[in-house]
């Protein structure tokens, strides 16, 4: 069984009530159900959320140690966390897939959101499609893993 880690950064635990005009009305539990419905045979979805940078980094180490592909929404850490970037680099340097996702399109928003310190070390980035950003990332993982 391959575990796909779907890691979510700060404030994403409030999906459903947080700025629904920007992020949509679905909750993380709704997202988990959608991803589980699309997981290919032999793959399990392990979706987690934290507001804590250290915890997020420890989950990324876990992905490296267990050889798990990662779908990562770093939320606001996207724009400034060099610590998270260095951890994400460990995943891709290990030859594992790490896809950065965003519900919104940060490039269409405030200027501080136009920088991602994660993107240069990610396998790829998918943004602007709501929950479909995650589903497209899952599809990309399926295709890459063959
Ligand atoms: C986000 C975009 C970030 O700029 C923001 O800080 C978030 C969510 C997104 O999914 O659109 O918390 O990552």
Give the gyration radius of the chain's Cα atoms. 14
Of all atoms in ligand 1, which is nearest to the CA of residue 11?
Answer: 12
Whether 21 has a pLDDT exceeding 90, the answer reads no
* Residue 75 Cβ < 6 Å to ligand 1: yes
Of all atoms in ligand 1, which is nearest to the CA of residue 113?
Answer: 4
Query: What number of other Cβ atoms are within 10 A of residue 99's Cβ?
Result: 23
pTM of the predicted model over 0.95: yes
* Residue 92 Cβ < 6 Å to ligand 1: no
* Residue 43 Cβ < 6 Å to ligand 1: no
Residue with CA closest to ligand 1 atom 13:
75
- Determine the average pLDDT of the residues in 85-110: 98
CATH code of 111's domain: 3.40.50.9100
Name the pairing type of β-strands 70-73 and 2-8. parallel
pLDDT tens-digit profile of 130-144? 999 999 999 999 998
Which residues, 6 or more positions from 64, have their beta carbon under 8 angstroms from its beta carbon? 90, 91, 94, 96
What band does 84 get if pLDDT is binned at 50, 70 and 90? Answer: very high
Catalytic residue numbers read 23, 102
Specify the number of domains making up the chain: 1
What band does 95 get if pLDDT is binned at 50, 70 and 90? Answer: very high
Rounded Cα distance between 34 and 60, Å, is: 23
* Domain that residue 125 falls in: 2-145
């Amino acid at each position: 069984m391959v575990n796909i880690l779907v890691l979510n950064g700060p404030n994403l635990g409030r999906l459903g009530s947080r700025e629904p005009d920007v992020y949509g009305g679905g909750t993380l539990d709704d997202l988990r159900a959608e991803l589980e419905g699309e997981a290919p045979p032999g793959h399990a979805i392990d979706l987690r959320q934290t507001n804590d940078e250290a915890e997020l980094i420890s989950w990324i180490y876990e992905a490296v140690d267990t050889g798990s592909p990662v779908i990562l929404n770093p939320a606001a850490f996207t724009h400034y966390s060099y610590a998270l970037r260095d951890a994400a680099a460990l995943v891709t340097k290990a030859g594992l897939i790490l896809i950065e996702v965003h519900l919104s399109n940060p490039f269409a928003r405030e200027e501080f959101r136009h920088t991602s310190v994660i993107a240069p070390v990610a396998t790829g980035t998918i943004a602007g499609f709501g929950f479909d950003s995650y589903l497209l990332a899952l599809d990309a993982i399926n295709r890459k893993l063959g």
